Amino acid sequence: MIGLVQRVRHARVDVDDKTIGEIGAGIVLLLGVQKHDDEVTLQRLLQKLLNYRIFADDQGRMNLSLLDVQGQLLVVSQFTLAADTQKGTRPGFSRAAAPEHARELYELFCQKAGEQVMVQTGEFGADMQVSLQNDGPVTFWLEV
């Protein structure tokens, strides 16, 4: 499971010119599910994400987590994160999970995250437009 994590001041995701998810300060997570992923990898990524210390403390140091700052989370499915880009000039997607498996884990991830923080989502498999104000910018690649 791969997560591209962006600390944001605010963000939203639109489908067909309609906003379907919107957050204030927190994290945008672009979530890629690979075919070998399961509930164990899901839990590992979720715990790492929620506890990853990327928010500033009183001294301006990245020492606080999303849980610490009571931030919000926007989760957007993105199968292209599982792309193999090692050869040639066209990405391959053989490492990406099948759509049914990916949808199941994506929805479970959002549900479990929602038990701990406020979560908004994109629409699995849709053509989405994501708008955000990256804070920092602070961006991390998490892979478990």
Q: Is 109 a catalytic residue?
A: no
Report how far residue 28's alpha carbon sits from residue 83's, in angstroms, rounded to the nearest whole number.
Answer: 20
For tokens 């699995």, what's the residue? 124
Q: Is 78 a catalytic residue?
A: yes
Please say whether the beta carbons of 35 and 95 come within 8 A.
yes
Q: Phi/psi of residue 25, each to 5°? A: -60, 135
Which is catalytic among the residues 72, 79, 109, 121? 79
Which is catalytic among the residues 6, 34, 72, 78? 78
Find, among 129, 106, 138, the residue nearest to 119 by Cα: 106
Which is catalytic among the residues 19, 47, 70, 80? 80
Please say whether the beta carbons of 6 and 133 come within 8 A.
no
Please say whether the beta carbons of 128 and 13 come within 8 A.
yes
AA letter at 68: D
CA distances from 103 to 38, 55, 135 (A): 12, 29, 29
Positions annotated as catalytic residues are 78-80
